[in-house]
Amino acid sequence: MTRAFNFSAGPAALPEVVLRQAQEEMLEWHGAGASIVEMSHRGPEFMAVAAEAEADLRQLLDIPDDYAVLFLPGGATTQQALIPMNFASAGQRADYVLTGHWGKTAVKQATPYVSVNVAASSEAEAFRDLPDRAGWQLSPDAAYVHITANETIHGVEFRDIPDTGGVPLVADFSSSIASEPLDVRRYGVIYAGAQKNLGPVGIAVVIIRRDLLQRDGQPRADIFDYRSHAARDSMLNTPPTWNWYLAGLVFKWMLAEGGVVEFARRNAAKAALVYAAIDASGGFYRNEVAPSARSRMNIPFFLPSAELDARFVAEAKAAGLLALKGHKAVGGIRASLYNAMPVAGAEALVAFMADFQQRHG
Amino acid sequence: MTRAFNFSAGPAALPEVVLRQAQEEMLEWHGAGASIVEMSHRGPEFMAVAAEAEADLRQLLDIPDDYAVLFLPGGATTQQALIPMNFASAGQRADYVLTGHWGKTAVKQATPYVSVNVAASSEAEAFRDLPDRAGWQLSPDAAYVHITANETIHGVEFRDIPDTGGVPLVADFSSSIASEPLDVRRYGVIYAGAQKNLGPVGIAVVIIRRDLLQRDGQPRADIFDYRSHAARDSMLNTPPTWNWYLAGLVFKWMLAEGGVVEFARRNAAKAALVYAAIDASGGFYRNEVAPSARSRMNIPFFLPSAELDARFVAEAKAAGLLALKGHKAVGGIRASLYNAMPVAGAEALVAFMADFQQRHG
């Protein structure tokens, strides 16, 4: 058994201590005679696990009581369709700010349900910067303004929360939730697939300011209605119980480690290490994102040739540094540095980068 | 560590050998340096796991090549909304046959998208029998006919496949898939939440005759489009990888045990044991379903009073027989006897029933 440093963009590394607990409890949970994955979601055991996970997430992210917290199956993409269905009337305008691949996905999913206004986009600059807030063409009557807090593929992250006046700000936080303190009150809706910073794949977290649940939205099945999920504590139907349980273990781990303040410190340290290595390489390693927009979570970079990119990925894997291949949309290398990646992982990557450059530079 | 006999209706018992393998592989999968739950769904390791699971399910259920097999997040209820969205035009008629709670749920989810025709219902008889096929009021122009192959709460199961002529038959098989041989060709669509007979919660299987994917359906987000999922091998977005992996382990276990022919034999034996105990109890235990419609998977029954029902559940739990409480919609007792429940579990239940009757009858 040798666990490597895993730089996967998601599904991503989980804390080893969490995996060990899940392993220990796999055949029997807390003397209950069965695994948690074998228990009714409506039984007292799982109900307690679910409630504790919600309470821990509320503590971790300082979520006010006037926000509902939902745990739903699947990932962020489903929410990108449910958000317009629930919060906009048919054909109403909604503003989207595009800073990478996932903002475009959000537009694609929303298009059947709203009149999408691309209020700003950095696509013409290949998503290497955030569009300046002063140039955003927001609609005063928009149902909401949608941003992607961190773009997992392009490595671009909002470092300031944009002011959208009275129009609710909806943010895809899939790849940066819980990576640093979050001012929930500045948002109408925060959503995230859990498989990056929150750990397990197969479940999404949706945080909704409760007054938005009063909106009629559009005709839709009950299973697509956030109000129904909120009214039933995300147990409208059988939820992904094991994934929810595993997320709860990750929340407890994050709280025990010092919460989002501590993870903000570690994440800043990890990112600073890797960007410094890139910037000090004399151009051997290149990250093309504007420094003020660089993501702390996902660092895409390039070597002088595609051949060297491929060799870097292969040699890194052999050295115990996994999943460093960049997304096929942009190529190159990508190092994802979520909460479960220790500072030692970033240090190992930086040491490998120096060694690789010495041998191939 | 004492694993009990777990009669939960779902999430339900998993084979112990599957849980043990998942436990062994929890920290590192096949020497890969990471757990399968930490790996990219687009990497070669998980792609192989996913493809093998599909191939094994195709072998297990003898699924012809002209049927697509999808693995989607969540449970059956989501499919109940996606089916009309994908296979009916807006407001088109669709026929529903109601034989219990889940048929009604299917109607509820479909109502925003189709003109629901309840072609037959046994609700007036408290769902204690199947409505006679001769009395079904089918619509010749219906988009499809929907049935619930096995009603998990009411304990009613179709033992013959109804003939619906040229109109595709769509069946919710959540609680009976893979419990016996299945003539897939008789159906247009078969769907099932996996958390009963297929094992893990958080993933659903949808089997679709490919010609139905040519239907336009209704305007919908890409993430709600079965064609998009089929074109991308259920990896349109990040799938619930761990749940898929665990389902794959269950498929391999079922094949190794002898496949659906062997499980049909075991399931018939288990159900026969429990129904015989009920019928031989002189009315102390009552199952109210017409014998020809009795479910092999879920056996609801009642004792002479609600007090005795509660005492039965509590004493059974103390004796290592878990989760026998009936669904709140009907009360009483419910014994679920899915594939992972060994014949020894049914024997233990029957022995406990005899003992309990002797003490309290």
pTM: 0.98
pLDDT average, residue stretch A305-328: 97
Residue A324 CA to residue A303 CA, distance in Å, equals 13
User: Given this model, what pLDDT does residue A171 score?
Assistant: 98
Bridge pairing between strands A150-151 and A156-157: antiparallel
**A81 in Cβ contact with B224 (< 8 Å):** yes
Q: Do A238 and B2 touch (CB under 8 A)?
A: no
**CATH value at residue A253:** 3.40.640.10
The count of structural domains within chain A is 2
Q: How many CB pairs under 8 A join A and B?
A: 220
**B3 falls within a domain:** no
pLDDT higher than threshold 70 for residue B307: yes
**A127 in Cβ contact with A155 (< 8 Å):** no
Q: Is B2 known as a binding-site position?
A: no
Is B325 designated active site? Answer: no
User: Given this model, what pLDDT does residue B2 score?
Assistant: 82
**Are A288 and A235 part of one and the same domain?**
no
User: Given this model, what pLDDT does residue B184 score?
Assistant: 98
Task: Read off the pLDDT band of A296 (50, 70, 90).
Answer: very high
What chain B residue is nearest to A2 in terms of C-alpha separation? B33
Task: Read off the pLDDT band of A351 (50, 70, 90).
Answer: very high
User: What mean pLDDT value characterizes chain A?
Assistant: 97
**Are A192 and A265 part of one and the same domain?**
no
**Are A98 and A215 part of one and the same domain?**
yes
Position B165: which residue type? G
Residue A299 CA to residue A337 CA, distance in Å, equals 8
Collapsed DSSP state (helix, strand, coil) of residue A238:
coil
pLDDT higher than threshold 60 for residue B1: no
Rg of chain A, C-alpha, whole Å:
21
User: Does the CA dihedral B278-B279-B285-B288 come out positive or negative?
Assistant: positive
**A306 falls within a domain:** yes
pLDDT average, residue stretch B232-240: 96
Chain B interface includes A225 (CB < 8 A): no
**Are B238 and B338 part of one and the same domain?**
no
**A8 falls within a domain:** no
Last residue of a domain, one of B257, B287, B315: B257
Summarize pLDDT for A258-268 with one digit per residue, the tens.
999 999 999 99
Q: Which residues of A, range 121-180, sit inside 8 Å of B by Cβ?
A: none
**A204 in Cβ contact with A191 (< 8 Å):** yes
**Are A201 and A275 part of one and the same domain?**
no
**B111 in Cβ contact with B88 (< 8 Å):** no
Provide the H-helix boundaries in B191-328: 226-231, 241-257, 259-279, 306-318
Backbone phi, then psi, for B213, in 5-degree steps?
Answer: -70, -10
**CATH value at residue B317:** 3.90.1150.10
Residue B250 CA to residue B22 CA, distance in Å, equals 11
**Are A170 and A300 part of one and the same domain?**
no
**Are B250 and B269 part of one and the same domain?**
no
Q: Do A28 and B2 touch (CB under 8 A)?
A: yes
User: Given this model, what pLDDT does residue B199 score?
Assistant: 83
pLDDT average, residue stretch A160-185: 97
pLDDT higher than threshold 90 for residue A199: no
What chain B residue is nearest to A234 in terms of C-alpha separation? B74
Residue B211 CA to residue B229 CA, distance in Å, equals 15
Catalytic pick among A104, A196, A270, A325: A196
Instruction: Assign residue A311 a region (left: φ > 0; alpha: ψ between -120 and 50; beta: otherwise).
Output: alpha
> Residue B58, Cβ neighbours under 10 Å: how many?
17
pLDDT higher than threshold 90 for residue A71: yes
**A233 falls within a domain:** yes
pLDDT higher than threshold 80 for residue A1: no
**Are B269 and B185 part of one and the same domain?**
no
User: Given this model, what pLDDT does residue A39 score?
Assistant: 96
**Are B280 and B210 part of one and the same domain?**
no
**B5 falls within a domain:** no
Last residue of a domain, one of A234, A257, A280: A257
- Please report the DSSP string for A103-129 in residue order: HHHHHHHHTTTSEEEEEEE-GGGTT-S
**Are B110 and B243 part of one and the same domain?**
yes
Query: Which residue has better confidence, A210 or B1?
Result: A210
Domain of A119 in residue numbering reads as: 16-257
Cα angle for residues B48, A202, A339 (degrees, 5° grid): 100
Summarize pLDDT for B186-221 with one digit per residue, the tens.
999 999 999 999 989 999 999 999 999 999 999 999
Last residue of a domain, one of A207, A234, A257: A257
**Are B212 and B232 part of one and the same domain?**
yes
pLDDT average, residue stretch A51-58: 98
User: Given this model, what pLDDT does residue A2 score?
Assistant: 82
**A110 falls within a domain:** yes
pLDDT higher than threshold 90 for residue B64: yes
User: What mean pLDDT value characterizes chain B?
Assistant: 97
**B4 falls within a domain:** no
**A7 falls within a domain:** no
ipTM for this prediction: 0.97
Q: Which candidate, A322, A76, A235, A174, places its Cα nearest to that of B38?
A: A322
Residue B201 CA to residue A235 CA, distance in Å, equals 13
**Are A176 and A274 part of one and the same domain?**
no
